[in-house]
Amino acid sequence: MNIIEVNQLEKTYKNGFKAVDNINIKIEKGKIYGLLGPNGAGKSTLISILVGLIRKTSGEVFAFNEPISNFNKISQKIGYVPQEIAIYPDLTALENVMFFGALYGIDRKSLKDKAMESLKLVGLLENSKEYPKNFSGGMQRRLNIACALVHSPELIIFDEPTVGIDPHSRNNILESIMYLNKSGATIIYTSHYMEEVEKICDYVYILDKGKVIEQGTILNLYQRYTKILDSPIMVSITEESNLPDEIFKYCRLDIAEGSRVLIFNETSFKKIIEVLYSHSIEVNDIKKSNLNLEEIFLFLTGKTLRD
Ligand SMILES: Nc1ncnc2c1ncn2[C@@H]1O[C@H](COP(=O)(O)OP(=O)(O)OP(=O)(O)O)[C@@H](O)[C@H]1O
Ligand SMILES: [Mg+2]
């Protein structure tokens, strides 16, 4: 089942700037989706439409089979963690989460328990009576997440939740997201940190200048671009082995961390193996250089994600 379906979506702001340009996406139940793109790609604009904050200019958006114009029918099912932290500094952590819970219509009886559950998930249970104005940026961010989870939403949308925070909070957030997903929630995760997207996402949409420029599972993308980008294969061989001249038709020799390494492209793989085998050259290790989403992005756009 598709929880979200977006067809030919466009958003032009009042000043005439088109921030979302013919976007089509599908979000299936139970998966973690990454929206990856540089500053200004249109990620927050797209998300703001999905959570009913701004109106689309044209196209179709369905969430839980309802047109997004009926957002009040589905708002209970969606949790939204905005890019800018939105919490009340003069309410305690617990009061903040309870406040959001009350907005979502959680009944008074279970409100405190639900709020405590949310705080526990983000690792702030012990800080429940403290005021967020004394929190670190990472703790404030985690509290913001707790506020978005209190009503146990089926779909949770995170807009760059790990920007500019300490590694402890960052790990806590990534682990919480994976936990929520294992417990059944569908996740949309926006980021320009490709390592995070690679670590937690099942499926990635790469955005640039308001368009989806590539999409697939991480494995799909690697398979597709390993061929195109031709990332090299490296074979370490023993110190004493004599290499026949013919092997240098297919590879170059390098020294890496004190050992001899043959470096070549996938197209030469078969030949290299044949030569190594026929000369009984012992192989210590085979590696393929790491292709990552950053390289794919660079290839597609000619710029880095953090330009
Ligand atoms: N209210 C607005 N009026 C006009 N232009 C806007 C408005 N909000 C955003 N934009 C522009 O739309 C483009 C997309 O912005 P958006 O915030 O969606 O990008 P983003 O991918 O979330 O970027 P970031 O990684 O910086 O958060 C940007 O060029 C931005 O300047
Ligand atoms: Mg944004």
- Residue minimizing CA distance to atom 4 of ligand 1: 13
Return the H-helix or E-strand segment holding 257. none
Does residue 188 share a domain with residue 110? Answer: yes
> Cα–Cα distance between 205 and 25 in angstroms, integer?
8
Task: For 261-275, give one letter per residue: b (16+ CB within 10 A) or e.
Answer: bbebeeebeeebeeb
Does residue 282 share a domain with residue 249? Answer: yes
Radius of gyration over every alpha carbon of the chain, rounded to an integer in angstroms: 24
Residue 15 belongs to domain spanning: 2-225
- Residue minimizing CA distance to atom 25 of ligand 1: 39
CA of 245 to the centre of ligand 2 (A): 55
Q: Which ligand is nearest to the CA of 48?
A: 1
| Residue 191 Cβ contacting ligand 1 at under 6 Å | no
Does residue 37 share a domain with residue 17? Answer: yes
Does residue 121 share a domain with residue 94? Answer: yes
Question: What pLDDT does residue 307 have?
Answer: 56
Q: Which of 39, 53, 55, 208 to mutate to test the pocket of ligand 1 (most atoms within 8 A of CB)?
A: 39
Does residue 125 share a domain with residue 78? Answer: yes
Does residue 266 share a domain with residue 168? Answer: no
Residue 146: partners with Cβ closer than 8 Å, 6 or more residues away: 93, 96, 97, 115, 118, 119, 121, 122, 124
Does residue 215 share a domain with residue 66? Answer: yes
Residue 222: partners with Cβ closer than 8 Å, 6 or more residues away: 291
- Domain end position, chosen among 194, 225, 256: 225
The model carries a pTM of: 0.84
Does residue 296 lie in a domain region?
no
- Domain end position, chosen among 173, 203, 225: 225
Question: What pLDDT does residue 119 have?
Answer: 97
Does residue 261 share a domain with residue 193? Answer: no
Q: What string of pLDDT tens digits covers the 307 residues of the chain?
A: 799 999 999 999 999 999 999 999 999 999 999 999 888 999 999 999 999 999 999 999 999 999 999 988 999 999 999 989 999 999 999 999 999 999 998 998 999 999 999 999 999 999 999 999 999 999 999 999 999 999 999 999 999 998 888 888 889 899 999 999 999 999 999 988 888 888 899 999 999 999 999 999 988 888 888 777 777 888 999 877 789 999 999 998 888 777 888 988 888 899 999 999 999 999 988 987 777 888 888 888 887 776 5
Does residue 89 share a domain with residue 34? Answer: yes
- Closest ligand 1 atom to Cα of 38: 25
- Closest ligand 1 atom to Cα of 48: 18
Question: What pLDDT does residue 278 have?
Answer: 93
| Residue 42 Cβ contacting ligand 1 at under 6 Å | yes
Does residue 254 share a domain with residue 167? Answer: no
Does residue 212 share a domain with residue 90? Answer: yes
- Domain end position, chosen among 172, 193, 225: 225
Does residue 266 lie in a domain region?
yes
Does residue 198 lie in a domain region?
yes
Question: What pLDDT does residue 156 have?
Answer: 97
Query: Phi and psi of 225, rounded to 5°?
Result: -90, -15
When divided into structural domains, the chain yields a total of: 2
CA of 45 to the centre of ligand 1 (A): 6
Question: What pLDDT does residue 163 have?
Answer: 86
Does residue 52 lie in a domain region?
yes
Does residue 34 lie in a domain region?
yes
Does residue 252 share a domain with residue 133? Answer: no
Does residue 302 lie in a domain region?
no
Coil, helix or strand at residue 143:
helix
- Closest ligand 1 atom to Cα of 45: 18
- Residue minimizing CA distance to atom 26 of ligand 1: 39
Q: List the CATH number of the domain containing 53.
A: 3.40.50.300
Does residue 188 lie in a domain region?
yes
Does residue 94 lie in a domain region?
yes
